Amino acid sequence: MGVSRQGDEVGLFGPDSVTWQLHADPVMWVAGVRALYLQALHPSAVRGVVQNSDIRKDSWGRLIRTADFVGTTTYGTRAEAEQAGARVRRIHAMLRATDPETGETYRIDEPELLCWVHCAEVGSYLSVARQAGFPMTDDLADRYLDEQRRSAEMVGLPGASVPGSLAELDRYFTDIQPSLANSAEAQDVYEFLRRPPVPILLVLGREVLWRQVAELAYAALPRWAKELYGHRGLPGYVAGPGLKALRAAAGAATPVIRALYPSPHIKSAMDRLGPDVKPSPARLPIGAGALGTGTSETKPLRTGAAETKPLGTGAAETKPPDVGTAGAGSLGVAAFEVRPAGAAPADPAASMAGPLAARPPRGAEVSPPNK
């Protein structure tokens, strides 16, 4: 492959990257749900999911496959990342969707659709993380988007074809808005995310706990996305405080969750590269911008962020929780990752990357969405 052994072991990004630290934050679970809300607003993209899989019957496994893909491409070796990317490209190449109005059949791996899924995903990661108090300056965000071009290459896009900075991502979202709409399929996704199927014994937990995650993720959407959906939801200014509280609570619970459900991807990376590579906001590249400055809340419309206002001082936590486990990584990608009929489901115990999404509810059918 032309890559040194050391380079292969480091993987696509390496322990000194922004990606390595951000994808381990527990708030990524909410970011993944926001990405799903956003991705579903592209009629052709969401149609490709609905027509090629049953999102309700394959819900938890879909989320698991997405988290596994993100965990592998973030913390795996280069060979593992490329193998995961090749698998996704192979599956996507076989699938087609049909426009019910025109009768036109199209590939679900068209560059426009892959780019939309990618941008909605990384934009959601940045937006939710910044609203939640992750110390992400504009410079760090630019660096993250540039790093994520490597992830785009794994699903078949030229790296240079996707936004590599906040300014480019802002322009992308502005330009694509006329192509977005609240389709019947988007409403199906909206309803699914608010009430995903769970065993009868977990219905109360879904209403009490999951509903809060879904509400926060929806509140974190940009105003134009909520206007397309037509549902008011929580006010945008609630997203910041709510996400900060959730991140703090998740950070406090992380040691217990990590002990019960360790991330196989991060554990493997630490076994391979050493314990000092454990992801932490403290490892963010200092040269890419000052940490803990609170700049993450001063530009709320970047990356499709919600229309929140600065909160008091707007200061970010000086010592964000050291999570050390990858969150649900990207639900977004998998939201548009479909599995051909008859394919074997993922192993939930081995594939979930995150602390909050470490396992699907006991008894739930295992099988999420697209990368």
Q: pLDDT tier at 308 (50, 70, 90 boundaries)? A: very low
Check whether 259 has a pLDDT greater than 80: no
Check whether 208 has a pLDDT greater than 80: no
Q: What's the confidence (pLDDT) of residue 336?
A: 41
Q: What's the confidence (pLDDT) of residue 239?
A: 93
Per-residue pLDDT tens digits for 64-122: 888 899 999 999 999 999 999 999 999 999 999 999 999 999 999 999 999 999 999 99
The identity of residue 262, as a single letter, is P
What are the contacts of 306-309 at 24+ separation with CB within 8 A?
306/127, 306/131, 306/219, 306/220, 306/221, 306/222, 306/223, 306/236, 306/239, 307/222, 307/223, 307/236, 308/131, 308/236, 308/237, 308/239, 308/240, 309/237
Q: What's the confidence (pLDDT) of residue 79?
A: 97
Q: What's the confidence (pLDDT) of residue 287?
A: 60
Q: What is the chain's mean pLDDT, rounded?
A: 79
Check whether 358 has a pLDDT greater than 70: no
Q: pLDDT tier at 59 (50, 70, 90 boundaries)? A: low
- The residue extents of the domains of the chain are 15-351
Check whether 333 has a pLDDT greater than 50: no
Check whether 21 has a pLDDT greater than 90: yes
* Higher-scoring residue by pLDDT: 364, 270: 270
Check whether 137 has a pLDDT greater than 80: yes
Mean pLDDT comparison of 221-235, 241-255, 307-321, 328-342, highest-scoring range: 221-235
Least confident interval from 39-53, 200-214, 340-354: 340-354
Alpha-carbon distance of 112 to 126, in angstroms, equals: 21
